[in-house]
Amino acid sequence: MSFLLWLEATSIGTFVREGQSLLAYPTFTVVHTMGLSIVVGISGVIAARVAGLAPTTPLAPLKKLFPIIWFGFGLNLISGSGLAMASAAKTLPNAFFLTKICAVILAVIILRRLQVKVFRDPEVDNKPLDSTSRLLGMSLLALWLVAMIAGRLIGYSVDLIAPT
């Protein structure tokens, strides 16, 4: 627990929690929401197509969207780290936070796997996708749903943890 309290006391944790203008926390939250929208929105379209839910959407042009997805993920990584550090003692041990992080890690692994497996072939639109790719697409959609629900529940559940 002392490590978590130390995280809260770092300059980043203090800045996000108590920023001079009191806009730091809301700004980090807005950036996190924007990053989430980019990552889940774009990768959700790709996952839906790969899973077979949007069969008429061409796959090849979607490959160009991966740099935008990774940019959004970078925003989330930075903003999410700041938000977690601001209340580390309550947030990091939270079951919803741990669920969210596990879902995000698995989703990112699957997203990268799809990027490499599906989009390596320049003729991706002319060949049917295998069942493994379809399963990866469905799994990605499910993991993003779990991550978003768990993320929203963090804010409602941190008060259930004993105060530090």
Identify the pLDDT of residue 159: 62
Q: Average pLDDT of 7-17? A: 91
b vs e for 66-104, b when ≥16 Cβ sit within 10 Å of the residue's Cβ?
A: beebbebbebbeebbbbbbbbbbbbbbebebbebbbebb
Q: What's the token pair of residue 125?
A: 């639109």
Q: Report the distance separating Cα 103 and Cα 147, nearest Å.
A: 5
Percentage above 90 pLDDT, the chain: 80
> Are 103 and 21 spatial neighbours (Cβ–Cβ below 8 Å)?
no
pLDDT over 70 at 2, yes or no:
yes
State the alpha helices, DSSP H only, in the chain: 2-9, 11-18, 24-51, 66-86, 88-91, 95-119, 131-157
Asked whether the predicted pLDDT for residue 36 surpasses 80, the reply is yes
Please count the residues of the chain. Answer: 164
What number of other Cβ atoms are within 10 A of residue 154's Cβ?
A: 20
Main-chain dihedrals φ then ψ at residue 44, nearest 5 degrees: -65, -40
Average pLDDT over residues 19-30: 86
With cut-offs at 50, 70 and 90, classify the pLDDT of residue 58. very high
| pLDDT tens digits, 99-139 | 999 999 999 999 999 999 999 888 888 888 999 999 999 99
Rounded distance between C-alpha atoms, residue 19 and residue 49, angstroms: 42
Place of tokens 């627990």: 1
Q: Print the domain residue range for 16.
A: 2-160
Statement: the pTM of the whole predicted model exceeds 0.85:
yes
Total domains in the chain come to 1
